[in-house]
Amino acid sequence: MLNVEVFEGFYVFLETDIRPMKFIYYCAFILMLSSCNEKTTAAKQVIDKPEASRIKKHKKVSKIQSKFQMNIDSWVEYENLRIFLQQYTSISPNDALNNSRELNDITKSVIDSVKPQFLETSAFKARVNLLYNETLRLYDMSSIPAIKAIEVNHQVANILDAFSSVNFKINTILTQNELEKGITEPNFKRDIPENLDISSSNTSKTPVKKNLSTRKSNKSTKSEFFKKSKQTLMLEKEHLEEKRNKKLKLSKKNKREKN
């Protein structure tokens, strides 16, 4: 038979051995939870990018019509600018600022380049200068340390709008030129008067003398009318003078008789 004291000692030994095991299990469980929390926080840090690194999608730029594309194929500087601006339709503020200097240089080359002849207008030059000023403004933003991402995105939108305005002006000028070429002056049919002699040898129109004779007759009748009217006036004046003389003579006679 086993002694009771032995059983009591074994029980105490078991209790002392079980308690450290529970402590180990608790520690392992806490470590597992902490590692899971660290993984979730690290994932959040990867997902939550800073505002300046988020890609911003801008509205599409208006393009030149396909039928007018051949008119500007020789303009290399414009083509370089168009290709370079394609990346700005979907770009982060950081990348927009990093590429701002190159964008400004390419725009400057467009201004200094030899443009197609139909674009040598003051209205078109004003739009290209506006585009250059907008790119210069973005380049100036790259030197501001506390610049906000929303301000950069707004400036990129201004640049794309200015480039759309340039393309719209090109389409307008070429459309107007196309309409002017298609317009022809209408040929009005005019009836040839009977008194005009048109021959193959003499293309000039010579009036017939009949009209001139009628004009002369009209002038002669008018002159005769004025002559007659002058004569009648003279007669009337003479008649009035005779009447006056007669009255004077009668008045003198009357005076003599009274005397």
DSSP state of 70: G
Residues with Cβ < 8 Å from 64, sequence gap 6 or more? 72, 167, 170, 171
Cβ neighbours of 149 (radius 10 Å): 18
The burial class, CB within 10 Å (0-12 / 13-18 / 19+), for 78 is buried
* Site of tokens 């048109």: 198
The tally of CA atoms less than 13 A away on the side-chain side of residue 29 is: 6
Q: Do β-strands 196-197 and 206-207 pair in parallel, antiparallel, or remain unpaired?
A: antiparallel
pLDDT of residue 230: 59
Q: Residues of the chain whose pLDDT is less than 70?
A: 1-29, 33-49, 184-237, 239, 258-259
Ramachandran angles phi, psi of 107, nearest 5°: -65, -40
Q: In order of start, what are the domains of the chain with their CATH numbers?
A: 56-182 (1.20.120)
Strands annotated E in the chain: 56-57, 90-91, 196-197, 206-207
Q: CA 259 to CA 253: how far, in whole Å?
A: 10
pLDDT of residue 37: 59
pLDDT of residue 126: 95
Q: CA 171 to CA 67: how far, in whole Å?
A: 10
Nearest to 166 by CA among 91, 61, 74: 61
